[in-house]
A and B are shown apart, each in its own frame.
Chain A
């Protein structure tokens, strides 16, 4: 097949054969990867600016208004536009797939990706057009500072974020409505049974009974373990959405009053109390949602790849329940540099409970590795490679954060590049995305009806460039943090030149890897197929019938 034929028609992708669930999943995936490209370009612009005078970009990118506008939307586009979309797409497909029940509403699933896409675009426009730049942290009263920022820009930004959160609530409703639907295998289950299973309580009770020499509480839990992780992580997603929405409403009220000529007193809101509230919610994304969703994804991938039961499944279920307590109580590690924060909260929430994340994530790592090990020999498929890459990512990123969540270390690391690069970027780019790429390769044949991937070589090029680039960028950025480079500061004189050039080279590798991946996908589905994904499905089915066991057969040597 010629290059042009491949580009137009793909390998053997037939969008007309896809049902409604497959199509809505792929729509969100497409949007997610487009936003990933945008966020990678934004990231590269910022990386290049801080290389100093050697920076080849036009001067305007180094202007503080422009630079911090990009820094403001970079996490919005990355976390919500790309990551949320990809995770939500995967889970709205996986929950019906794993529970063998139809998705509650395909219409709602469509609304979710549209709302998040429009919301992300609005937030981006607010920064691009009006240079609204309070950063994602929205530290009070900066987002309501109309001396520095345009009121219109602020309103557009907040409306954008609100749309993203409304879309998020739509996802949450769809997931829970699907899980609690009493059809198929759950026809005879009660809400109580599903709740007990969803929170991992059955796994905990099984462990207790085992210790007491009693028969297990349940031999067949109502929900599969990955669904428990989705159920559990979605609790944090809900709380986080409520916190961000309410913070948005607060900012919006101040901006609207300001626009009407009756500015409200910003000192009515205490900055530190606001920080506590906001970080409690925001931290649920990082320490609740990501870690739990990721743990669940690892368990799912390990069982799908090996075709075997998860090692120590009851412990894994109980750990998800423990994470419920941990993720709600760790936010103070963001406030260790705030001297007004009570010392006991720093000590208990900021240090001790946070340290338990080492335990919960370490446990997930251990269980995943042992499950894989027990099933060896395995083929080194793309999904297995990416899964191992994801494990490396979190193996690096979680301890990097635990180290900083300490009153001594925080004094010299807070707000430096250490936390944003060695922790956040490695956790997201390497840990989370490698896990998601693994899921993508596992689900690809199911979601696309066995479409042949255009090139395995390109998949490998993507893997290695992405892995080396992601770790390298995080490592060099982290080193700059140790050298004193701040994370929310403008450096235009090449102060940390050498490390920033190295980080920029690695960042370029991530960007090129994304382009290679996108090319491979476009060549697989073709431009016609890509457009076809967005056309209505002929088959309105909201479920997919392939048994998970089929996937495992592809990995046996």
Chain B
């Protein structure tokens, strides 16, 4: 099982967590009901160590599952050794993007490096689909350090589906990001355009 893009992952997550939520509420409700009954008997006997093993397996297995099913995890960890198809560098200052191209056109399955630097505050870098859902995001920390490690704000992303994505800051950096009537001054409409995927992509 592999998720081709974040929309698939979010849909899967929605279903899986909803099932879990319904289950845990039902179990506690059933438990509460039976607490008051004299003749209530255990339906299942859960061995303590099996339960602990289940929790450990759940906690660790979750990461093993996502590492294998979500393609951007290993790509993120190994990004120093991956040569992207294109790199875009830009900066942020006073709630404004500096050096930003009007639109980036990406061919299907191309891997792009976004390298963002903040000159003042902590911002975020996030791409959003037209329905508002999140494609991906990262934090953008300001400042510099002598070994050039702590001020890294770069992300590699492989686009596997056609689409047009908006950009905005995903981290709060003060009310100056907005006009008085709530318009987001850091929002860039149609910033990334992905083309060339057959049948829309995910192939």
Contact = CB atoms under 8 A, between A and B. Distances in A.
B136 A363 contact: no
Contacts, number: 234
B134 A337 contact: no
A172 interface: no
B80 to A, nearest CB: 10
Nearest to B46: A366
Contact of B73 (A145, A337, A407): A407
28 contacts: A62-B181, A64-B175, A64-B179, A133-B175, A140-B122, A141-B120, A141-B142, A142-B172, A145-B120, A145-B174, A267-B142, A270-B150, A273-B150, A275-B141, A335-B139, A339-B139, A340-B153, A355-B59, A376-B38, A376-B40, A377-B36, A380-B32, A406-B66, A408-B67, A422-B17, A482-B133, A483-B133, A557-B36
A555 B181 CA distance: 56
Chain A interface size, under 10 / 10 to 19 / 20 to 34 / 35 or more: 35 or more
Given A134-B174, A388-B28, 11 more contacts: A62-B182, A139-B171, A141-B142, A366-B46, A377-B36, A379-B36, A392-B28, A407-B77, A408-B9, A408-B66, A408-B69
B40 to A, nearest CB: 6
Nearest to A388: B32
Interface in B1-49: 6, 9-10, 13-14, 17, 20-21, 24-25, 28, 31-32, 34-38, 40, 42, 46, 48
A339 B31 CA distance: 44
Contact of A377 (B24, B40, B131): B40
B36 A376 contact: yes
A141 B119 CA distance: 11
Contacts of A406: 62-63, 66
A269 B121 CA distance: 12
B45 to A, nearest CB: 11
A416 B138 CA distance: 12
Interface string B150-192: 1111110000000000000011111111111110100000000
B99 interface: no
A396 interface: yes
A172 to B, nearest CB: 31
A341 to B, nearest CB: 8
B59 A139 contact: no
A308 interface: no
A414 B37 CA distance: 44
Contact of A343 (B42, B77, B122): B77
Given A355-B63, A358-B59, A415-B124, A483 B152 contact: no
A485 interface: yes
B67 A384 contact: no
A380 B137 contact: no
Nearest to A488: B172
A362 interface: yes
A338 interface: yes
B139 A337 contact: yes
Given A355-B60, A358-B55, A408-B73, A68 B175 contact: yes
A271 B122 contact: yes
A352 to B, nearest CB: 7
A402 B62 contact: yes
B97 interface: no
A491 B134 CA distance: 15
Given A396-B24, A408-B70, A411-B72, A352 B58 contact: no
A403 B13 contact: yes
A271 B52 contact: no
B145 interface: yes
A412 interface: yes
Interface string A466-483: 000001000100110011
Contacts of A496: 132
B131 to A, nearest CB: 8
A376 B37 contact: yes
Contacts of A271: 122, 141-143
A272 B136 contact: no
B51 A362 contact: yes
Most chain A beta-carbon contacts within 10 A, residue among B32, B128, B136: B32
Nearest to B170: A415
Contacts of B60: 352, 355
A490 interface: yes
A399 interface: yes
B174 A400 contact: no
Contacts of A272: 141, 143, 150-151
A373 interface: yes
B180 A63 contact: yes
Nearest to B28: A392
Interface string A314-354: 00000000000000000000010111101100000001100
Interface in A134-167: 134-135, 137, 139-142, 145, 147-149
Interface string A110-141: 00000000000000000000010111010111
A149 B174 contact: yes
